[in-house]
């Protein structure tokens, strides 16, 4: 197999090669860290690359597998971690000067699980500052492997770019409003925001205690499911799911978003048509309250984040990127009654979503209203409006953080510039495996019908 064939193989295929003796974990680890050395200067996907510890883990995995000790699907597989996941003895910066020299003395619970599963951790990925502000100037922006003049978005942009470019087989991200799914959509990979509370937040540097989630990013839904099975207990394996008779809801409010690009709508329509031809029942549904959701999530994130940063913003305000500092300071100005009303709204919205999910199996939408941009822009002015309204990039993803539902982004095509577009699949709380199974079914259809672009990012960009 060629280098690219190995780097872009599935987790299961690499595992099979290990167990047949065709290739070793050490060979794959070396290939991966060599590729990081070549491509990371162009992508800026990693803040810290853990070459020595990765090779040591790979040697241990190789020795164990030869001795018949098999730790499972991730044994010897290179994985990356967003740099707000604490790693004992390894710098964990959260993309900020505030924690530039922070070396934790413990592993996050998800890291403990990955090590127990024999995964090879190759490094800590770049991110927007604390998952909240823009990229800090000390660390810079992560570039998109499909077009390095574009952003990978955030805040889990480094994890998405590394996965898309073949620098790891899967990565851990976090998501409080879309920070796994939007970079996944921009970089053409799969990214799951799990059911709230499914994956432990122990050892994750927080943004907001009531919205933070930790989840998997991989090149396919199947591989994301394998990673989720390690990160969370009791997750059933993905099973093939028949699309015939599956009831899929399309929320009117998530299609008629001001400023949504026509390429995104066209790709979404093609995806729905593809599913419909396989017997899925596409139903248009409505939650009118979604039209006023734009400010809801920030009315929760802002005060919670400001409280998290209370001490640092008093003692070291100049160490934040200016916009991050401004956002933290503004959070203190949000009245408590607004925060509490938004918490009430969350409850109301959850009831409305569950009403929809009593008549559908899943809800579909685009992941992001527009494709990869040149800068890390979180808002766009809605065309065709007279009130100067700006639409947030997370307008399609944040509702699922508010209500705690699992939501998956997978590629569903490309825009006129050849850049990825994401399809979002959301299901009932606790049914993460259903979202992933639907994602895997669509990926299988797309591969046969060419609904989604078949080449990977490295060949597209010519990195």
* Strand intervals (E) in 106-213: 120-125, 143-144, 147-151, 170-174, 190-193
Element (H, E) at 282: strand 281-285
How far apart (Å, rounded) are the C-alpha atoms in residues 373 and 287? 29
Element (H, E) at 440: helix 432-449
Of 57, 96, 155, 156, the active-site residue reads 155
Of 9, 24, 57, 82, the active-site residue reads 82
Please confirm, yes or no, whether 96 is among the known catalytic residues: no
Q: What angle do CA 195, 197, 203 make, to 5 degrees?
A: 130
Q: Collect all residues with Cβ–Cβ distance below 8 Å to 336 and sequence separation of at least 6.
A: 303
How far apart (Å, rounded) are the C-alpha atoms in residues 153 and 143? 8
Are 278 and 248 a contacting pair, CB within 8 Å?
A: no
* Strand intervals (E) in 21-138: 46-49, 78-82, 120-125
CA distances to 132, 133, 186, 303, 384 from 338, in Å = 20, 22, 33, 10, 30
Element (H, E) at 379: strand 379-381
Task: Say if strands 143-144 and 120-125 run parallel, antiparallel, or are unpaired.
Answer: unpaired
How far apart (Å, rounded) are the C-alpha atoms in residues 170 and 184? 12
DSSP string, 387-400: S--EEETTTTTHHH
Helix axis angle, 51-66 to 25-43, nearest 10°: 160
Give 379's strand partners: 392
Please confirm, yes or no, whether 460 is among the known catalytic residues: no
Closest CA to 289 of 342, 338, 339, 360: 342
First to last CA, the chain: 19
The secondary structure of residue 194, as a DSSP letter, is P
Q: What angle do CA 400, 401, 405 make, to 5 degrees?
A: 50
Are 38 and 28 a contacting pair, CB within 8 Å?
A: no
Of 179, 306, 398, 437, the active-site residue reads 179
Please confirm, yes or no, whether 82 is among the known catalytic residues: yes
Q: Catalytic site residues?
A: 82, 155, 179
């Amino acid at each position: 197999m060629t280098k690219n064939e190995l780097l872009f193989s599935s987790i299961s295929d690499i595992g099979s090669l290990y167990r047949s003796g065709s290739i070793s974990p050490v060979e794959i680890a070396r290939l991966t860290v060599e590729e990081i050395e070549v491509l990371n200067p162009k992508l800026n996907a990693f803040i810290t690359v853990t070459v020595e510890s990765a090779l040591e883990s790979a040697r241990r995995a190789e020795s164990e597998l030869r001795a018949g000790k098999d730790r499972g699907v991730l044994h010897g597989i290179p994985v990356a971690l967003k740099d707000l996941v604490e790693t004992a003895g390894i710098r964990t910066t959260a993309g900020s000067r505030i924690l530039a020299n922070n070396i934790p003395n413990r592993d996050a619970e998800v890291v403990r699980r990955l090590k127990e599963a024999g995964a090879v951790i190759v490094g800590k990925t770049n991110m927007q500052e604390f998952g909240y502000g823009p990229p800090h100037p000390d660390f810079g922006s992560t570039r998109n492997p499909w077009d390095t003049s574009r952003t990978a978005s955030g805040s889990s942009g480094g994890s998405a770019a590394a996965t898309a470019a073949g620098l790891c087989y899967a990565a851990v991200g976090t998501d409080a409003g879309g920070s796994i799914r939007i970079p996944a959509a921009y970089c053409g990979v799969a990214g799951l925001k799990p059911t709230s509370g499914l994956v432990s937040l122990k050892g994750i540097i927080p943004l907001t205690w009531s919205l933070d989630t930790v989840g998997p990013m991989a090149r396919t839904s199947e591989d994301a499911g394998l990673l989720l099975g390690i990160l969370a207990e009791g997750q059933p394996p993905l099973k093939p799911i028949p699309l015939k008779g599956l009831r899929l809801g399309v929320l009117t409010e998530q299609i008629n978003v001001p400023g949504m690009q026509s390429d995104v709508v066209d790709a979404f329509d093609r995806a729905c048509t593809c599913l419909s031809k396989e017997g899925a029942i596409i139903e248009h549904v409505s939650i009118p309250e979604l039209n006023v959701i734009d400010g809801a999530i920030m009315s929760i994130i802002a005060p919670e984040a400001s409280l998290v940063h209370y001490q640092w913003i008093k003692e070291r305000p100049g160490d934040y990127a200016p916009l991050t500092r401004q956002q933290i300071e503004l959070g203190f100005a949000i009245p408590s009654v607004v925060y509490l009303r938004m918490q009430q709204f969350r409850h109301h919205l959850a009831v409305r979503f569950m009403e929809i999910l009593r008549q559908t199996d899943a809800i579909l939408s685009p992941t992001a209203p527009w494709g990869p941009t040149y800068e890390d822009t979180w808002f766009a002015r809605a065309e065709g409006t007279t009130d100067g309204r700006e639409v947030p990039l997370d307008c399609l993803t944040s509702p699922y953080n508010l209500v705690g539902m699992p939501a998956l982004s997978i590629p569903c095509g490309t825009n006129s510039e050849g850049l990825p577009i994401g399809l979002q699949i959301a299901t009932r709380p606790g049914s993460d495996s259903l979202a992933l199974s639907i994602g895997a079914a669509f990926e299988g259809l797309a591969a046969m019908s060419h609904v989604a672009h078949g080449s990977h990012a490295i060949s597209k960009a010519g990195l």
